[in-house]
Chain A
Amino acid sequence: MRRALVVGAALAAALALPAAAFAHAALLKTFPQASALLDRQPHAVQLTYDEVVEPRFAIVSVTDAAGRSQTTGVPRRSPSDPYTLEVPVRKLAEGWYLVFWRVISADGHPVRGAFTFQIGPNPGPAPQFVIPPLTETAATPTLVAARWVVFLAAMSAIGLFVLRAVVARPLVGRVAGTRLRALTVAFSVALALALVAVPVYVLLATAQFALRSAWEVTALVPLMRASSFGRGFLDFELMLALFAVAAAGALGLDRPERQRRSVAALLALWGALLAAGASLFAPGAAGHAAQTSPRAVSVALDWLHLASGSLWIGGLLGLLVLWRSLPAVRRTAGLAVCVPRFSNVAFASVLALIGSGAGAAIIHLPTLSSLWQTSYGKAIGVKVILLAAALLLAAVNLLRTRPALRVNDIGPSTALLLRRLVSGEAVLVAAAIFAAAVLSSLPPPAKALAGLGTPSAVDGPGPVTQVVDSHGYRLEFHVAPNRVGLANAFAVRVLRGGRPAQGLAVTATFTMLDMDMPTLTYTLPAHGAGLYERSEPAFVMVGRWALTFAFQPPRGAPFQVILIDRANG
């Protein structure tokens, strides 16, 4: 009953999520500046990000209004600043130019943007550039599927190894005529699958980074370590290979029929466990966990989450393997040895899984409403539901079949129930790992959400018109055309008592809500009749933006109004 209560509490608190998630590169400044009118030739277009990005995966396209490319080379890292990409351009005639860029963040998230500049003094009217899609996701079906296979195989391998080498080992000594060979084979298959899946996943990811077919293997392989994301996962591969060697030694030296291990077997076992544990640091180090503050806590939570999840899924699969491999006459006795031991391990793992997931959720989710307002939060919700269902099956197992196994009184119906519950639990946990693969491919919500006040209105996509009454003023907001990569007009007409209000100092601050990015603040000059207006290319990314308009009246207290706007490409 006590454990059932704990399980129930765990269900309620099951904000279990992996800490690994993609971060992104934010564009900090450009040369030429967005919408700038230049009176002299730029030799190159420069883009400065908040992290070092790989030029070999970057697109920096500079085109004129006719769609003609103006670049004379490929993007390269600036010799004077590793955070800056530059692309040389030919002598530019008077006119308007579109810069479209796309980079891969250090941890694999593709980011795109666009802006225009002019060469004057007579550039002509602003063209309506046709901008390619400004959204690109790392959560493509192929990549998510590959990522799922990687995690499922690696976690299963580690869990199967622990089950084989630690949890199920006493079986051979206690139940005569039983062997653990099937577990060893299952472990080997899972590990081999992981060893193949990791480089395939990196290859697929590299192909997406380079916008190439994954079949161009010869060309893509040299680029696999070009991204820190690729380096991280190839390091994961090398660690898994080391684990494979250590595990082979440990299993080769182990004599399960002997109750006590030899010193060599013990050392080999610890070596393999350390290798397995070390390998689980790699995904977090290659993902968002390593870039989320506090970094050490974030990476530790990620590791704990993966480790506990590994013990759970690997153990469940191992129980199913044991079920099939044990002779029918010894199955009940064998399960009576293994299931209670595994239940203890699984119970601790689930607690660690929930604790680490909840901790990571606190770090990654700036507000509770992010759970249902963002894709990241929704993915967490799906994962929580799947894990809750798995925990429900685990609870039934604990309450129904384990007591029967303890007294070795397990009938055919209970045995069938056990197998079905374990199978169902394994399927649900595997599905939760799939949800985690989706989740870790999405950017977490921006921290800015936490500091945001209550919005007065939500609008967009498309031109925005909102009227807000605040602090005795009537405020008429207009945003047009509300598109990314263009100069947008941001205007507010301020009325007090039906008359235009003059003399206010008005600023507008733009905060990206779907990703962490630097904020932009502009002063809105007065244009008479209570109109405060400015045209700026403030929307540099597709998605939700918080527009915080701050008003300082000539007399009276300052106040602000927040609009949530969705800007499209």
Chain B
Amino acid sequence: MLGTAALVLSACGGGGSSSLTPTVTIPAAHTYHVSGFGPTKGIRPGRPTLVHFTIVKPDGKPLTRYREGKGPHTGADLVIVRSDDSHVLYIDTKNHPNGLISQRVVFPAPGRYRVVIDAYPKGGTALTPSNFQLFESVTVAGTPHLVPLPPFASSEVVSGYRFTLARKPPLRAISPATIAFHVTDLAGKPAHFELWRGALAHAIFIRKGSLDYFHTHVCPPGANYCSSRLGGFRVAGVSSTPGLLKVGVLAPLAGVWRLFLLTYIGGRERVAPFTLTVK
């Protein structure tokens, strides 16, 4: 009885010890990840470098089947951007039957690059995502000459082609918007865009500092394969007349973003960079 009373009375104190807080151990998740990415260093600028890797599925097997067909959302693309946002490479890859992905890449200058692997597996379901990005980084040998991001400019000239924004766009984070670019050729006439890698234009957005990434496309009117998703939103760009690109924007974060507008005009890839501020 006395022991019981002592037990009860001591329990009345109601103290406690955080060391007694229960705990649980959570094992590592099964996830898509990159295996065998290389090379990551010893890369020389201006020389072709064979970048190779395999995407491994949550079940441990290599991802071998990628979406095919028309439109930009196919295969596995590489978006490679230098840490100062000064250089961007948008590269298609070769997918081998065993899941190995490889491509020769020419890194333009020394420095550290973020490599975005933008993958579109075949047969997206609730368990298999239709699109995801994985990230790696590489260092290109040499002393980098980092370039500060230029301020907003409403017009950029690329190989004689002029890309013009009518005004500084009032962009807000997580708020879909469309910005219109007028593009003229060397003669000052509206430029004719060619379908290139499934779209009339690719808009790649890289955030200053963090190198956060999102990507939208501009397609012909009526294309139903063109929209990009972020959270619950979808955005798509359209080009219905020569010289006009309506680019969908859906910036996930506020900050300064570098837009690389990639088009194919006059038989060549033309990349027009813009600096945009998202509030």
Structural contact, A67 and B28, CB atoms closer than 8 A: yes
Structural contact, A65 and B31, CB atoms closer than 8 A: yes
CB distance from A26 to the nearest CB of B (A): 20
Structural contact, B20 and A128, CB atoms closer than 8 A: no
Kindly state whether residue B142 has any CB partner on chain A within 8 Å.
no
Q: Can you list 30 A-B contacts (CB < 8 A)?
A: A59-B21, A59-B24, A61-B26, A65-B31, A74-B18, A96-B29, A98-B29, A120-B252, A121-B207, A122-B133, A124-B32, A125-B32, A125-B129, A125-B132, A126-B129, A128-B58, A129-B29, A195-B1, A199-B8, A203-B7, A210-B20, A210-B22, A211-B22, A220-B20, A221-B10, A225-B14, A230-B11, A241-B4, A480-B126, A488-B126
Structural contact, B126 and A98, CB atoms closer than 8 A: no
Kindly state whether residue A212 has any CB partner on chain B within 8 Å.
yes
Kindly report which residue of chain A lies nearest to residue B251, judged by CB atoms: A121
On chain A, the residues within 8 Å of B106 by CB distance are: none
Kindly state whether residue B23 has any CB partner on chain A within 8 Å.
yes
> How many residues on chain B are close to A (CB under 8 Å)?
48
Kindly report which residue of chain A lies nearest to residue B250, judged by CB atoms: A121
Kindly state whether residue A226 has any CB partner on chain B within 8 Å.
yes
Kindly state whether residue A285 has any CB partner on chain B within 8 Å.
no
Beta-carbon contacts under 8 Å, B123-165 to A: 125-127, 129, 132-135
Kindly state whether residue A520 has any CB partner on chain B within 8 Å.
no
- Render A21-39 as a binary contact track against B, CB cut-off 8 A, 1 for contact: 0000000000000000101
Kindly state whether residue B213 has any CB partner on chain A within 8 Å.
yes
On chain B, the residues within 8 Å of A63 by CB distance are: 26
Kindly state whether residue A452 has any CB partner on chain B within 8 Å.
no
Other A-B contacts than A126-B31, A211-B22, 7 sampled, CB-CB below 8 A, are: A100-B24, A102-B22, A102-B24, A124-B133, A199-B8, A222-B16, A226-B14
A37 to B174, CA, bound (A): 11
Beta-carbon contacts under 8 Å, A121-171 to B: 121-122, 124-132
Structural contact, A128 and B30, CB atoms closer than 8 A: yes
Q: Which of B14, B30, B212, B213 contacts A222 (CB 8 A)?
A: B14
Q: A67-B28, A122-B135, A210-B22 are in contact. Are A535 and B214 (CB under 8 A)?
A: no
Beta-carbon contacts under 8 Å, B77-95 to A: none
- Render B2-15 as a binary contact track against A, CB cut-off 8 A, 1 for contact: 00110110111111
Kindly state whether residue A489 has any CB partner on chain B within 8 Å.
yes
Q: A125-B32, A212-B22 are in contact. Are A130 and B4 (CB under 8 A)?
A: no
Structural contact, A238 and B129, CB atoms closer than 8 A: no
On chain B, the residues within 8 Å of A132 by CB distance are: 24, 26
Kindly state whether residue A249 has any CB partner on chain B within 8 Å.
no
CB distance from B153 to the nearest CB of A (A): 25
- Render B186-230 as a binary contact track against A, CB cut-off 8 A, 1 for contact: 000000000000000000000100001110000000000000001
Kindly state whether residue A303 has any CB partner on chain B within 8 Å.
no
On chain B, the residues within 8 Å of A125 by CB distance are: 31-32, 129, 132-134
Kindly state whether residue B69 has any CB partner on chain A within 8 Å.
no
Structural contact, A128 and B29, CB atoms closer than 8 A: yes
A63 to B252, CA, bound (A): 24
Kindly state whether residue A565 has any CB partner on chain B within 8 Å.
no
A220 to B16, CA, bound (A): 8
Kindly state whether residue A366 has any CB partner on chain B within 8 Å.
no
On chain B, the residues within 8 Å of A230 by CB distance are: 11
On chain B, the residues within 8 Å of A55 by CB distance are: 21
Task: Summarize A's interface: helix, strand, loop or mixed.
Answer: mixed
Q: A56-B20, A226-B16 are in contact. Are A130 and B27 (CB under 8 A)?
A: yes
On chain B, the residues within 8 Å of A192 by CB distance are: 1
- Render B236-256 as a binary contact track against A, CB cut-off 8 A, 1 for contact: 000000000000000011000
Structural contact, B26 and A124, CB atoms closer than 8 A: no
Kindly report which residue of chain B lies nearest to residue A463, judged by CB atoms: B126
Which of B24, B127, B212 counts the most A-chain CB atoms under 10 A from its CB?
Answer: B24
On chain A, the residues within 8 Å of B26 by CB distance are: 61, 63, 67, 69, 98, 100, 129-132
A61 to B11, CA, bound (A): 28
Beta-carbon contacts under 8 Å, A86-125 to B: 96, 98, 100, 102, 120-122, 124-125
Kindly report which residue of chain A lies nearest to residue B214, judged by CB atoms: A121
A535 to B7, CA, bound (A): 51
A11 to B122, CA, bound (A): 64
A506 to B191, CA, bound (A): 45
Kindly state whether residue A223 has any CB partner on chain B within 8 Å.
yes
Kindly state whether residue B231 has any CB partner on chain A within 8 Å.
yes
Q: Which of B15, B16, B58 contacts A127 (CB 8 A)?
A: B58
Which of A59, A69, A125, A199 counts the most B-chain CB atoms under 10 A from its CB?
Answer: A125
Structural contact, B4 and A196, CB atoms closer than 8 A: yes
Kindly report which residue of chain B lies nearest to residue A101, judged by CB atoms: B24
On chain A, the residues within 8 Å of B24 by CB distance are: 59, 61, 100, 102, 132
On chain B, the residues within 8 Å of A481 by CB distance are: 126-127
Q: Which of A121, A127, A223, A238 contacts B252 (CB 8 A)?
A: A121
Q: Which of B8, B13, B20, B207 contacts A237 (CB 8 A)?
A: B8
On chain A, the residues within 8 Å of B18 by CB distance are: 56, 74
A501 to B231, CA, bound (A): 27
Structural contact, A128 and B31, CB atoms closer than 8 A: yes
Kindly state whether residue A314 has any CB partner on chain B within 8 Å.
no
List 6 tightest A-B contacts by C-beta distance, closest first.
A121-B252, A127-B31, A125-B132, A127-B29, A489-B126, A224-B11
CB distance from A186 to the nearest CB of B (A): 17
Kindly state whether residue A66 has any CB partner on chain B within 8 Å.
yes
A237 to B11, CA, bound (A): 12
Kindly state whether residue A57 has any CB partner on chain B within 8 Å.
yes
Q: A98-B26, A196-B4, A481-B127 are in contact. Are A124 and B14 (CB under 8 A)?
A: no
Kindly state whether residue A368 has any CB partner on chain B within 8 Å.
no
Kindly report which residue of chain A lies nearest to residue B173, judged by CB atoms: A39
On chain A, the residues within 8 Å of B252 by CB distance are: 37, 39, 120-121
Beta-carbon contacts under 8 Å, A234-283 to B: 234, 237-238, 241
Kindly report which residue of chain A lies nearest to residue B132, judged by CB atoms: A125
CB distance from B19 to the nearest CB of A (A): 8
Q: Which of A124, A224, A535 contacts B134 (CB 8 A)?
A: A124
Structural contact, A225 and B11, CB atoms closer than 8 A: yes
On chain A, the residues within 8 Å of B23 by CB distance are: 59, 61, 211
Which of A75, A102, A124 counts the most B-chain CB atoms under 10 A from its CB?
Answer: A124
Beta-carbon contacts under 8 Å, B34-89 to A: 58
A211 to B24, CA, bound (A): 10
